Amino acid sequence: MFSALLKRELMVARRNWIGIVIPLFFFIMVVSLFPFGVSPEAPVLQKIAPGIIWVAALLSTLLSLEQFYRSDYQDGSLEQTLLIAGPTQVASAKILAHWLLTGLPLVIISPLLGILMQINHGFVESNHTWVLMLSLLLGTPTLCLIGAIGMSLALAANRNGMLVAILVLPLYVPILIFGTSTVTASLENFSYNGQLAILAALLMIALVVSPFAAGRALKISVS
Amino acid sequence: MASRWRWFHQLGSPKWFFEKSSKWLPWIWASTLILLAIGLYYSLWASPIEARQGQGHTVRIMYIHVPAAALSMVGYVVMAIASIIGLVWKMKMAFAASRAIAPIGAAMTFIALFTGAVWGKPTWGTWWEWDARLTSELLLLFLYLGFIALHSSFAERAKADKAASVLAIVGVINVPIIYFSVKWWNTLHQGYSVTQKGALAPEFQVPLFIMIGAFYLLFIGLVIMRLRVEVLIREQKSRWVSDWAASHEPKQMQKRG
C-alpha cells in the first residue's frame, strides 16, 4: 500500500514537474542575491554562506509544501486516499515523496551554491562542500517531516501560505542552528561530529513523531 | 471508582463549570489581590537592594520577571495537556480551556521577555542577546501566536480546536528546552537558582515566592474569566445559556423589549 501511495505521489509530481523545479530555482536565486546585496568579496561570503544556504533551503522547503498537499486537498483525492489507507501511511508517503523531489535535489545542487558562496576559499582541501552536503542530507528530511505537520494542519484553514510559515518556522529553528553550526565549525577547522549527531538525533525524533502527527492532522482537515 | 472521578466528569460539563466558577471567582480574586499587595509591598519597598553585584534597585524587576517566565512555561504545558485531553477524550471543555489559556500565556511570555530586556540593559549592558534561554523563550511566544493564528483561521470551531491542539502538543517540545537551556548551554542568562538552597538569600526568596503564588492565582483567575466567556460563546445555542442571558439582561433592554 505504501509503495502504491508513493508511486502515485511521484507520478502526480512528474506530470507537474515545473512545480518541482521552481523551489530549486528559488533556492539558487535567493542564495545568489546575497553577493549582490552584501558583498561579493570571498571572505565575507564565506562567513555568511552557511546561514544563507540553510535559510534558503528552509524557505524553499516551505514554498514547495503547498504543492504537495493543497491540490490533493482541493480536488478531493486526499479524502479518497485516506479512505483506502491509514492516515500515518498517507502522511509518510507524502513526506517521502516531498523529500525525494525537493529535499534531495537541494542536497545535490548544494555544491554549486558552495562554489557561488566561496565556501572553499583559501583552503586547498575542499571537504567543506561534503560537510555542507552531509548537513543538508541530515537536515532536509527533518524540514520535510515538520513542514508536513504544519501544512496538514493549515489545509482546512481559510488563509494559507503565511500561516504555514508562522506555524512551522519556530519549529525549524533548532535544525537551522545545528545545520549552520556544522558548516561553520568545519569552516573554522573545528570538529563538527557533535552537530551532525544532533542533526541525526533531530531527524530520528521527527521520524517517530511527525508521520503520526501529520496523519492525525490530515484526518482532521478532511473531516 | 465512580465517585473518585466525579469531579473530572463534572469539569467536562460547561453548565456545571459556569455555575460553580461564578462562586470560585470572588475567592480567587480576593486571594490574588491580598497576595499581590503583600508581595508587591515586600518586593518593591521592604526587600533589600542587591549590593554585591551593584544592581541596586534593578533587582526588583526579578519579582515580576521570574513569576511571569514561570507562568509562561506552565501555561503552555497546561494548554498542551488540555489539548491532549480534548483530542483523546473528546472533551469540549478541554478545547475551550486551551483556547482560553493561549492569549494569557502569550501575555506572560511577553512580560517575561520585556522585563528581561529592561533588566538586561543595566546588568548585562544590552537589551537583547541571542542567548539560549532568551531565544527559546522568544520561540515560545511564536508558538503561542501560531496557536492563536491557527485557531482563528478556521470557519468551523471543531476543526480549529483539533488542529490547534495538535500544534500545541507538537510545540511542547520547546518547554523542556527553555527550562534546561541554562544548564545545557552556558551562555549569558544565569542558572536556575530560585529554589536552590543558599543560592538566593531568604530576604529575596520570600517575596519572590509570594509573587510567584500571586501570579499563579492571577493566571488561574484570568483563565477562568476567559473560559467563562468561551463557554458562553460555545454553548450559545443551549437552553441554560439563553436562560442565563435572559436573567442577566440589562434593565433598559428589558424595558424596551
The pLDDT of residue A45 is 87
The pLDDT of residue B102 is 94
**pLDDT over 70 at A163, yes or no:** yes
Domain residue limits at B167: 32-47+61-236
Between B146, B156, B169, which is nearest A167 by CB?
A: B146
Whether residue B2 lies inside any domain: the answer is no
Contact A173 B171 (CB under 8 A): no
Confidence label for A123 from pLDDT (cuts 50, 70 and 90): low
**pLDDT over 50 at B163, yes or no:** yes
Q: Which residue of A has its CA nearest to B144?
A: A167
pLDDT in tens, B189-211: 776 666 666 666 777 788 888 99
Contact A156 B170 (CB under 8 A): no
Contact A156 B143 (CB under 8 A): no
pLDDT in tens, A47-103: 888 999 999 999 999 888 888 888 888 888 888 888 888 899 999 999 999 999 999
pLDDT in tens, B208-233: 889 999 999 999 999 999 999 999 88
The pLDDT of residue B252 is 59
State the smallest CA–CA distance between residue A219 and chain B in angstroms. 10
Confidence label for A2 from pLDDT (cuts 50, 70 and 90): confident
**pLDDT over 90 at A124, yes or no:** no
Confidence label for A203 from pLDDT (cuts 50, 70 and 90): very high
Confidence label for A41 from pLDDT (cuts 50, 70 and 90): confident
The pLDDT of residue B257 is 45
Contact B170 A149 (CB under 8 A): yes
Contact A213 B170 (CB under 8 A): yes
The pLDDT of residue A56 is 93
Domain count, chain B: 1
The pLDDT of residue A73 is 87
Q: What is the CA radius of gyration of chain B?
A: 21
Give the rounded percent of residues in chain A with a pLDDT score beyond 70. Answer: 96
Whether residue B19 lies inside any domain: the answer is no
Length of chain A equals 223
State the alpha helices, DSSP H only, in B57-91: 62-89
Domain count, chain A: 1
pLDDT in tens, B43-72: 888 777 765 555 677 778 888 899 999 999
C-alpha to C-alpha distance for B15 and A55, rounded to whole angstroms:
49
pLDDT in tens, B166-176: 999 988 888 88
Contact A169 B163 (CB under 8 A): no
pLDDT in tens, B122-133: 878 888 888 878
Contact B162 A220 (CB under 8 A): yes
Mean pLDDT of the residues in chain B: 84
The phi, psi pair for B126, rounded to 5°, reads -150, 145
Type of residue found at B86: G
Whether residue B218 lies inside any domain: the answer is yes
C-alpha to C-alpha distance for A35 and A112, rounded to whole angstroms:
14
Secondary structure (3-state) at B173: coil
The pLDDT of residue B55 is 63
Mutate to test the interface with A, among B150, B156, B169, B172 (most CBs of A within 10 A): B150
The pLDDT of residue B129 is 81
Give the rounded percent of residues in chain B with a pLDDT score beyond 70. Answer: 87
Give me the interface pTM, i.e. the ipTM: 0.80
Label residues A42-72 b or e (16+ Cβ within 10 Å = b). Answer: eeebbbebbbbbbbbbbbbbbbbbbbbbbeb
State the smallest CA–CA distance between residue A217 and chain B in angstroms. 6
C-alpha to C-alpha distance for B145 and A38, rounded to whole angstroms:
32
Query: CA torsion sign, A73 to A74 to A77 to A83?
Result: positive
C-alpha to C-alpha distance for B44 and B214, rounded to whole angstroms:
15
**pLDDT over 90 at A12, yes or no:** no
A interface residues, B as partner, C-beta within 8 Å: 149-150, 153-154, 156-159, 163, 166-167, 169-171, 173-174, 209, 213, 216-217, 220-221, 223
Mutate to test the interface with A, among B83, B159, B165, B169 (most CBs of A within 10 A): B159
Between B143, B150, B155, which is nearest A163 by CB?
A: B150
Whether residue B6 lies inside any domain: the answer is no
pLDDT in tens, A138-151: 999 999 999 999 99
Label residues B211-240 b or e (16+ Cβ within 10 Å = b). Answer: bbbbbbbbbbbbbbbbbbebbeebbeeeee
**pLDDT over 90 at B76, yes or no:** yes
The pLDDT of residue B204 is 78
Contact B167 A157 (CB under 8 A): no
Contacts of B162 in chain A (CB under 8 A): 220, 223
N-term to C-term CA, chain B:
50
Domain residue limits at A114: 2-222
The pLDDT of residue A76 is 86
Quick one: DSSP state of residue B48? P
Between B142, B145, B166, which is nearest A217 by CB?
A: B166
**pLDDT over 90 at B7, yes or no:** no
Q: Is B153 on the interface with A (CB under 8 A)?
A: yes
Contact B154 A157 (CB under 8 A): yes
**CB-based contacts of B56, cutoff 8 Å, min separation 6:** B49, B50
The pLDDT of residue A121 is 66
Cell of B242: 439563553
Q: Which residue of A has its CA nearest to B161?
A: A220
Between A163, A220, A223, which is nearest B149 by CB?
A: A163
Contact A158 B153 (CB under 8 A): yes
Contacts of A158 in chain B (CB under 8 A): 153-155
Contact B159 A158 (CB under 8 A): no
Contact B150 A154 (CB under 8 A): yes
